Chains A and B, each alone.
Chain A
Amino acid sequence: MGNSRRSGPMCTTKGDYIDEGTMCLSLSPAPGPVCIASKPEPTPRPTEDVLLSPVFQQAVQITDNMAAPMTWDSYWRMAYGRADKVLQAQANELLKRGNITRQEFDRLVKARNTLVEEFRKPLSPFGKQYSEILKPVSKLPQPAELLAKKGTVEAVLESVGKSRAAVNRLSMVFRVAGPALFVLDMTITTIVVMKAPPDQRRRVAAREYTGLGVGVASGAGGAWAGCVTLAALGSPTLVLPIVGEVAEGTLCAVGGVLGGIGVGWVGREAGKAGGEAVYDFVTTFRWE
């Protein structure tokens, strides 16, 4: 079978005709290899090949709304732990040396109190509330039947260790999962923006990034609200020593997670709608 070709002019640039008639007047191609189009076919953007499951997208966004503020707090916890190591070393040095003056003692205690105070300042509302709830309440002797549940001094000291282990686990989860979730959320949001048609991209960007910001902020508020609400429901259990405190702390953490998820999701959707509305207003508004 012989070769064939489509009818039409050969070796001209495509679409660069300068005469609408039958004359083949066209722009000369730029110097280079012969017989290729002057405008190469655009290569598809990498984001066009990415399949984004809406369920996965929602799951990441909802979890990140809740996790972002808790991740922030867990890093402050880690930072406090490191700063506390310095104080511990100073205290050990003084103990080894012995013969501690009152002034040195007062200075170290003051430094320790200031450290705790300063590290709690930048916490999210949830972090502050959770810290407050974990503070043991000073107590007078309980009635005999409640005291039996508490047991001895050993039970009190043991519960302090258990409480620390639980808080450590919670903090570790957020420290590891939080940054990964945030990066994933940012990536997904960017892909959604890049996949939008070029003429809609700015509008989609306004919607998605505003949604992300408002979602995370709402998650912080929701975590606090959830903590306060569930802890308030659990606070009557405080009449049971140890059990009450552990229950209230756990309820605060569970409430924080649920509140962060729920309010964060509402905030994300409201943020998306708000971002879109603001974009439309700004781009269509004209001074009369």
Chain B
Amino acid sequence: MGVISRYFERLAALVRPRRAPALTVSAGAEGLRIGGEQVAWSDVRRLDAYKSDIYVGDFLCLAILAAGSRLFEINQESPGWKEAGDAIERFLPGSLPHAEWMLRLIAANPGESVGIYPVTTAK
């Protein structure tokens, strides 16, 4: 099965252009850096984590709404995902603790979301 899967993966790479790699996210005292864009902590308006259904399994994502209606989306495959979660807890007062929102997200059904900032009840 593994050999066949690898064969299909190589064929897929030939037939279909590769998807863009997940954006790198890094965080520090000044704010979040997503790809080449900088979002200051004071510019963060809203954070929502959601669990996306991917047929078999689910995929954790984070929507970030910043000042000027700028909307970013990062996901669990984004390099720096875990560190960003820790930084949000540390530098964004009033947000849910990282462990809590992750647990709420794991406890949620695929398709549901968890409000991280400002804190709301799970939808």
Hey, which bits of chain B sit against chain A, CB under 8 A? 1, 4-5, 8, 11-12, 15-17, 19-20, 22-23, 34-37, 46, 48, 50-59, 61, 63, 65, 69-78, 99-100, 102-104, 106-113, 123
CA of A91 to CA of B34, assembled, Å: 29
Contact A135 B52 (CB under 8 A): yes
A131–B54 contact, CB under 8 A?
yes
A73 CB within 8 Å of chain B: yes
Contacts of B56 in A (CB 8 A): 73, 76-77, 80, 119-120, 123, 127, 131
**For residue A77, which residues in chain B have a CB less than 8 angstroms away from its CB?**
55-56
A132 CA to B55 CA, complexed, in Å: 9
State whether A140 and B8 are in contact (beta carbons under 8 Å apart), knowing that A122-B1, A163-B53, A232-B15 are contacts in the complex.
Answer: no
* Min CB gap B37→A, angstroms: 6
B74 touches A138 (CB 8 A): yes
Decide: A161 and B57 in contact? CB cutoff 8 A. Answer: no
Partner-contacting stretch, out of A5-13, A44-52, A108-116, A203-211: A108-116
**In the complex the two chains form, what is the Cα distance from A100 to B16 in whole Å?**
44
User: A153 contacts which of B36, B57, B65, B108 (Cβ < 8 Å)?
Assistant: B65
Q: Quick one: given A127-B56, A134-B52, A140-B72, are A105 and B37 in contact (CB under 8 Å)?
A: no
> A192 within 8 Å of B by Cβ?
no
A131 touches B55 (CB 8 A): yes
With A91-B103, A91-B107, A119-B57 as known contacts, state yes or no: A138 contacts B22, CB within 8 Å: yes
A157 and B72: CB pair below 8 A?
A: no
**Interfacial residues, chain A to chain B (CB-CB below 8 A):** 73, 76-77, 80, 84, 87-88, 91-92, 94-95, 100, 102, 105, 108-109, 112-113, 115-116, 119-120, 122-123, 125, 127-132, 134-142, 147, 150, 152-153, 156-157, 160-161, 163-165, 167-168, 171, 224-225, 228-229, 231-232, 235
Pairwise interchain contact B72-A160, C-beta atoms closer than 8 A: no
The 5 A-B residue pairs with the shortest CB-CB distance, nearest first, are A164-B111, A116-B57, A91-B107, A164-B53, A91-B106
Give 28 CB contacts A-B under 8 Å. Answer: A91-B103, A92-B107, A95-B100, A102-B99, A105-B99, A109-B102, A125-B5, A127-B56, A131-B55, A132-B19, A134-B53, A134-B55, A136-B59, A137-B19, A138-B73, A138-B77, A140-B37, A157-B48, A157-B50, A157-B113, A160-B52, A160-B111, A163-B53, A163-B111, A164-B52, A164-B111, A228-B15, A231-B16
In the complex, the chain A residue whose C-beta lies closest to that of B36 is A140
CB closest chain-B residue, reference A101: B99
Q: Is the CB of A141 within 8 A of B110?
A: no
Q: How far is the CA of A112 from the CA of B5 in the complex (A)?
A: 23
Majority secondary structure of chain A interface residues (helix, strand, loop or mixed) = helix
Q: Which of A108, A225, A232 contacts B106 (CB 8 A)?
A: A108
9 further A-B contacts with Cβ under 8 Å, apart from A135-B77, A152-B71, A156-B71, are A87-B106, A100-B99, A105-B102, A108-B103, A127-B56, A131-B54, A138-B74, A157-B63, A160-B111
Residues of A contacting B76 with CB < 8 Å?
113
Whether the Cβ atoms of A160 and B50 lie closer than 8 Å is: yes
Contact at A125–B4, with CB atoms within 8 Å?
yes
B73 touches A156 (CB 8 A): yes
A127, B70: Cβ atoms closer than 8 Å: no
B15, B23, B54, B111: most-surrounded residue (chain A CB, <10 A): B54
State in angstroms the CA–CA spacing of A138 and B32 once bound together: 15
Residues of A within 8 A of B4 (CB): 125
> Is the beta-carbon distance between A88 and B106 smaller than 8 angstroms?
yes
Q: Are B103 and A94 in contact (CB under 8 A)?
A: yes
Contacts of B11 in A (CB 8 A): 228
Contacts A73-B55, A135-B52 given; does A140 touch B35 at CB 8 Å: yes
Give the docked Cα–Cα distance between A163 and B75 (Å): 17
Query: Are A161 and B16 closer than 8 Å at their CB atoms?
Result: no
Cα-based distance from A93 to B78 in the complex (angstroms): 28
